[in-house]
Structure 1
């Protein structure tokens, strides 16, 4: 029996704490990700640092996306279509390491997050399914 594509894609939303970067998410975050990629150029980083809000106004971001960027709410950016590899341009511009930025997406301090990763990451128990409860 052939599975409906929408049912298949909906299963991706059942992974606790994980956002699978689907075509729908890519469409939703297109302008957010383009903004982030613009920070690869030094002249854009300078303009961004001078006035973040004014720089964001040049992009077709939703108000919710702008607020998430300005508050550096990386989890919200992911929900709004951000791709972590594009978002890395934002935290790089802020002088924050990839690991430090990722730690802000957890309930851990950077040191706790770092230690957890050095010990092999999170255990899979309890992290497999939202609706299944395990």
Structure 2
């Protein structure tokens, strides 16, 4: 029995709920294993062999090997667990996030310092297809007016 999930209608967003958790359980367990140095060494020595020790789907294994973190998320991966793959590769979270958006690290950093991604085209669509009004943040966030 599936629950009502109105958040499924947010373009480009995967909400890590119980269903996603079940789907990605072994993928996320694999990622957790990378907290131990000896596991990182084994993984880097033969990625496929190490992944084959886990009850992951072939699609999940392929996404890890190709470092397609967006696909890992679609397959039930949680970004906080997936960050361990990036750390194993010597990447910062900022570098990983940039790669997931198709931006360079500098472009991603500049976007985030500039206030993040525009909400245009990324709002909840609702059942009738009309975008819900975007709530403006409270308070004065314009430094020039302060």
Same fold flag (TM > 0.5): yes
Task: Select 2:3's aligned residue among 2, 6, 23.
Answer: 6
Task: Select 2:86's aligned residue among 91, 109, 115.
Answer: 91
Task: Select 2:56's aligned residue among 56, 61, 64.
Answer: 61
For 1:84-123, list aligned pairs within 5 A. Answer: 84-123=79-118
SS of equivalent residue, structure 1 residue 105: helix
Do 1:99 and 1:114's aligned partners in 2 also have CA atoms closer than 8 Å? yes
More helix by share: 1
Residue 118 of structure 1: CA displacement? Answer: 0.9
Root-mean-square deviation (CA, aligned residues, Å) is 1.5
Residue 38 (structure 2) pairs with residue 43 (structure 1): yes
CA displacement 1:42-88 (0-9 Å, x = unmatched): 00001011100100000000000000000000010001000000001
What are the ranges of 5 or more consecutive residues in structure 2 without an aligned counterpart? 132-146
- Structure-2 change in CA distance of 1:91 and 1:128 (3 Å): same
Task: Select 1:71's aligned residue among 66, 73, 76.
Answer: 66
Residue 111 of structure 1: CA displacement? Answer: 1.6
Do 1:126 and 1:133's aligned partners in 2 also have CA atoms closer than 8 Å? no
The aligned residue for residue 22 of structure 2 is: 27
Q: Considering only CA atoms, is the larger Rg found in Structure 1 or Structure 2?
A: 2
SS of equivalent residue, structure 1 residue 104: helix
